[in-house]
Structure 1
């Protein structure tokens, strides 16, 4: 991750340094959301922030929950799978269980969907609004075991800021 003002790399080699880097990322996210509550704009900005701030990613983005299916939302990276049933893949497992999925080796995950053959590890977090699944946030890496508990915790905190800063009921499918 690079410091937003100096452009120098932040130390992510230790747990305390990584937590400090995620604290900075959360401050950047809060700044992005200041004065903007539109769900589409906030999801797009968040995906861009994470993709550009975290090293070792080849994809970062959202899949929006629609009934028992996830549909591609704002993302950064190569083209992706457009629809994922809750019954398949790491994203589907996250949507189905509402639990963070931290997968050090996607090839060992039964039912993994390979949107990009270069991906080796994956972290997927549920986006819950008032207890309801609205989306999952998916991160892929070409590096094995790229993600750990500190990544999950730091991104969960950043997603909490997103949820709080966003007007979710303005999505087109929620309008009468």
Structure 2
């Protein structure tokens, strides 16, 4: 068992879990009560604390078409897809993630569903929306033609001349 990367791994330990949480760690191998306890033999495995990723976008996985697919998705679809990615993240050993800049309703819903035990995933510390200047990293206008953003549509050739299109709030 690895509890500190600066120390030699600890051998012959038992991890006692109650209600899904580590209750205590005991020296030696505890047999447990077969009528009430589940014993998982991890003698040939290495056990380490859950990993933490402090910069994730758990509703999104990058692929050549993922940006376009995400733009076509509903909030519900994004949350459901996020549940799949959350499970993959947990299975990879991450027990806590900080999610930066995802759609608030989807990420908060996923965070709460994980907390309530409806779906498996890491603990999510959610930031919600990104903050971005016009044309910045999180500006949706940068990836979509301005005529898709504002009504009435403006000619695409004029869009770059207008800071944030006709619907900009000044």
Q: Same fold (TM over 0.5)?
A: no
**TM-score, normalised via structure 1 length:** 0.25
Q: Looking at both structures, which has the greater relative contact order when contacts are Cα pairs under 8 Å and sequence separation is at least 6?
A: 1
**Structure richer in strand, relative to its length:** 1
**TM-score, normalised via structure 2 length:** 0.26
**Structure richer in helix, relative to its length:** 1
User: Could you say which structure has the larger radius of gyration?
Assistant: 2
